[in-house]
Amino acid sequence: MDDAHSKSLSAPTPLDLNRRGFVFMTSCVAGFTMASGPLNAQTITTSADGLTAGEVKVSSGGVEIPAYRAFPATGGPFPTVLVIQEVFGVHEYIKDVCRRLAKAGYYAIAPELYARQGNPGAYTDISKLLSEVVAKVPDGQVKGDLDACVTFAKASGKADTARLAVIGFCWGGRQVWLYAKNNPSLKAAAAFYGPLSGPKDDLHPQNPLDFAKDVKVPVIGAYGGKDPGIPVDQVEKMQAELKAAGSKSELHVYADAPHGFHADYRPSYRKADAELAFKRALDFFKAHGV
């Protein structure tokens, strides 16, 4: 990315936030984002017993963004996993994923990547959330915030950022591919049903299929065979591109699963596929030194 383009994607200052009318988030979403629809009875709640868990503030681009982090209460430093939110922000499901990772021995941190654009918890209509908040989040800003979380985690003394991985869901699944391309210091990455292709604009200039051969970090992907937004032929094309480049990545298609099959709080949840995909991701991290 050239310097001029980097500047165009830089984070606004607090003064800019006020002048331009942004709704800056000072904390993560409480509970679940309403735009996600009715809750599933199978919603998983992971206890924080034995963990240090809660919200923190991470300095990034001249502002303090909220993030949720969790890690074992004793020992460390622990291998580090960046958790990238789905389209609904850092709500209870993403916080729970952090606690699940902490129970597995990781320092997990999930920054609220919409903090400068708006509060997803305030929306009941997903189409408005997408157009008014999500579409306005630059890819360059996301990378900067993730980098800032690595710095924050390392400074805590509890995170071993030399053993660094990233995991993301839905919107965050696409961001996993971008971060894997742009941060070669990652040991491994896990993308859950993130779009591989789609519309591009100045804020989102590339799709994963555009740069598959340039991804040096091994990525494990989890995709639903019944996800209309990510056709299986796209997944197969991505796998072929990765294989041609000699990548150690592996993509798995769960034949009967829809989009969002890991999201236990939604009707799209498929327990067996979700558990297998998550286990595969953790096994993949360990196999690659995380």
Which tokens go with 235? 């997944």
The question of whether 262 is a catalytic residue gets the answer no
In the structure, what pLDDT confidence band is assigned to residue 195 with cuts at 50, 70 and 90? Answer: very high
The pLDDT of residue 197 is above 90? yes
The pLDDT-based confidence of 16 (bands split at 50, 70, 90) is: very low
Residue of 96, 139, 227, 264 marked catalytic:
227
Say how far apart CA 44 and CA 100 lie, in whole Å: 10
The pairing of beta strand 78-84 with beta strand 159-169? parallel
How many C-beta neighbours within 10 Å does residue 202 have? 9
For 155, counting Cβ atoms within 10 Å of its Cβ (0-12 exposed, 13-18 middle, 19+ buried), the class is: exposed
26: closest CA among 100, 133, 118, 97? 118
Q: Is 288 a catalytic residue?
A: no
How many Å separate Cα 151 from the centre of its chain? Answer: 17
Contact predicate 129/99, CB 8 Å: no
Superfamily holding 3-287: Alpha/Beta hydrolase fold, catalytic domain (3.40.50.1820)
User: Which residue of the set 96, 139, 170, 273 is catalytic?
Assistant: 170
CA distance 175 to 268: 21
In three-state secondary structure terms, 57 is strand
* Domain positions in the chain: 3-287
Q: What is the mean pLDDT of residues 141-165?
A: 98
Query: Active-site residue among 145, 259, 262, 264?
Result: 259
The confidence score (pLDDT) of residue 80 equals 98
Question: Is 259 considered catalytic here?
Answer: yes
Please state, rounded to an integer, the average pLDDT across all residues of the chain.
92
Amino acid 42: pLDDT = 82
Q: Distance from CA of residue 138 to its chain's centroid?
A: 14
**What average pLDDT score do residues 231-238 get?**
97
Mean pLDDT of 89-104: 98
Q: How many CB atoms are closer than 10 A to CB 122? A: 16
SS3 164: strand
> Is the pLDDT assigned to residue 11 strictly greater than 70?
no
Structural tokens at position 24: 């800056």
Cβ atoms 178, 206 nearer than 8 A: yes
Per the document, the length of the chain is 290
Give yes or no for residue 13 having a pLDDT over 60. Answer: no
